């Protein structure tokens, strides 16, 4: 674990589920979220406004409701953006992000078809079945337009190293030609941010993007915002994230989330330490076993060599030639001469 520190600072910990939502997931924090997203998507997309979508309306079950999307947003130009914070590594993380991205894309088609069906019901004055709807649409228009998609962005803030990704802070994925790298479909984008790989100091952060990432990684340990962060966005962040500014309800929820965070980090650290100790013990045992095996092999080889010398001397006393002794013992003629003459 990277410099685990369980002290509580002046600001909420963004790597707790409640802390993340306090900073980015409420109406008052919308402008701050827009700023972060625009920095992440600089040169690719410019967000002017967005609305938060109710994540529970996009769950397959109540059991899923608490984990699917930390933030699920729709921009004013029709892009869907999933922003998720994950504190701990878990298996199949990349598969799960792909699943939720594909589900968000699939729902676009469902929503578009439902919207068009309702429009036709208003025009005809009667409800339509799925078959009626498909048959009533011009085939060429229906076939193409019902699959036209808005872009779905998945942005995943990860407080761990994912083995399936390269060892770097940011990984961007697109649907592209494997050979040329040319993007085939621009409507599917994933951005993975592995915070343990972000190692810049504040003095090295020249862009707003770097300063935002640096702040998210370190703010939980601060008692005040550094003087170097003078942009207005950080004043807003300071206001939203100050523990002292939380409502009683949010403070109770945050304290519980912080306790869960601390416990999970301790458990993870204990598991890692136990794994290290187990590996060390296994390594020592293996080393001892290898040492014993090597010792036995060396002893056996030494015994065999002494036996060959004794046989060579006996054969020499019987009058055999050097060549005959070498053939019988497997020694070279030079070894036979040096052996029987010593």
Average the pLDDT over 153-167 and give the result: 94
Contact 33, 148 (CB under 8 A): no
What residue spans define the domains of the chain? Answer: 17-249
The pLDDT value recorded for residue 165 is 95
pTM: 0.66
Beta bridge partners of 242: 11
Residue 20 has pLDDT above 80, yes or no: yes
The pLDDT value recorded for residue 116 is 63
The pLDDT value recorded for residue 41 is 92
pLDDT tens across 314-326, in order? 777 777 788 888 8
CA distances from 298 to 154, 202, 303 (A): 61, 59, 9
Average the pLDDT over 265-284 and give the result: 63
| Region at 229 (left for phi over 0; alpha for psi -120 to 50; beta for the rest) | beta
The pLDDT value recorded for residue 59 is 42
Q: Round the average pLDDT of the chain to a whole number and report it.
A: 79
Task: Look at the block and give the residue holding tokens 């802070």.
Answer: 169
Tokens of 242: 């100050």
Q: How confident is the model at residue 1 (pLDDT cuts 50, 70, 90)?
A: very low
Range of weakest confidence among 125-139, 193-207, 260-274, 279-293: 125-139
- In angstroms, rounded to a whole number, what is the distance separating the alpha carbons of residues 13 and 69? 18
Residue that wins the pLDDT comparison between 113 and 20:
20
Average the pLDDT over 153-171 and give the result: 94
pLDDT tens across 26-64, in order? 888 899 999 999 999 998 888 999 998 865 444 443 344
Q: How confident is the model at residue 65 (pLDDT cuts 50, 70, 90)?
A: very low
The pLDDT value recorded for residue 275 is 59
Q: CB-based burial of residue 283 (10 Å sphere; 0-12 exposed, 13-18 middle, 19+ buried)?
A: exposed
Q: How confident is the model at residue 293 (pLDDT cuts 50, 70, 90)?
A: low
The pLDDT value recorded for residue 131 is 55
- In angstroms, rounded to a whole number, what is the distance separating the alpha carbons of residues 69 and 83? 7
* Continuous segment of H or E residues that includes residue 189: strand 183-194
């Amino acid at each position: 674990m990277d410099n685990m520190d369980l002290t509580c600072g002046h600001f909420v910990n963004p790597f707790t589920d409640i802390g993340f939502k306090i900073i980015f997931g409420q109406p008052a924090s919308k402008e701050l979220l827009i700023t972060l997203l625009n920095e992440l998507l600089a040169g690719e997309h410019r967000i002017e406004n967005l609305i938060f979508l109710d994540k529970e309306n996009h769950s397959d079950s109540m059991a899923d409701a608490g984990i699917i999307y930390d933030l699920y947003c729709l921009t004013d130009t029709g892009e869907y953006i999933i922003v998720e914070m994950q504190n701990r590594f878990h298996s199949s993380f990349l598969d799960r992000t792909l699943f939720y991205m594909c589900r968000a894309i699939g729902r676009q088609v469902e929503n578009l078809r439902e919207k068009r069906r309702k429009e036709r019901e208003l025009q005809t004055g009667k409800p339509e079945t799925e078959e009626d709807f498909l048959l009533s649409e011009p085939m060429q228009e229906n076939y193409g337009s019902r699959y036209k998609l808005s872009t779905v962005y998945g942005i995943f803030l990860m407080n761990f190293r994912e083995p399936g990704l390269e060892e770097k802070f940011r990984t961007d994925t697109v649907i592209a030609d494997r050979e040329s790298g040319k993007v085939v479909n621009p409507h599917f984008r994933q951005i993975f941010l592995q915070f343990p790989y972000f190692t810049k100091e504040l003095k090295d952060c020249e862009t707003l993007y770097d300063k935002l990432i640096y702040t998210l990684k370190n703010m939980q340990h601060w008692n005040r915002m550094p003087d170097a962060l003078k942009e207005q966005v950080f004043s807003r962040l300071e206001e939203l994230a100050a523990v002292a500014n939380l409502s009683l309800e949010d403070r109770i929820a945050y304290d519980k989330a912080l306790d869960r965070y601390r416990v999970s980090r301790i458990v993870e650290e204990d598991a890692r330490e136990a794994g290290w100790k187990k590996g060390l013990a296994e390594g020592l045992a293996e080393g001892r076993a290898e040492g014993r095996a090597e010792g036995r092999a060396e002893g056996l080889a030494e015994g065999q060599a002494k036996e060959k010398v004794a046989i060579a001397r006996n054969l020499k006393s019987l009058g055999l030639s050097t060549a005959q002794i070498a053939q019988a013992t497997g020694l070279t003629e030079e070894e036979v001469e040096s052996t029987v003459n010593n």
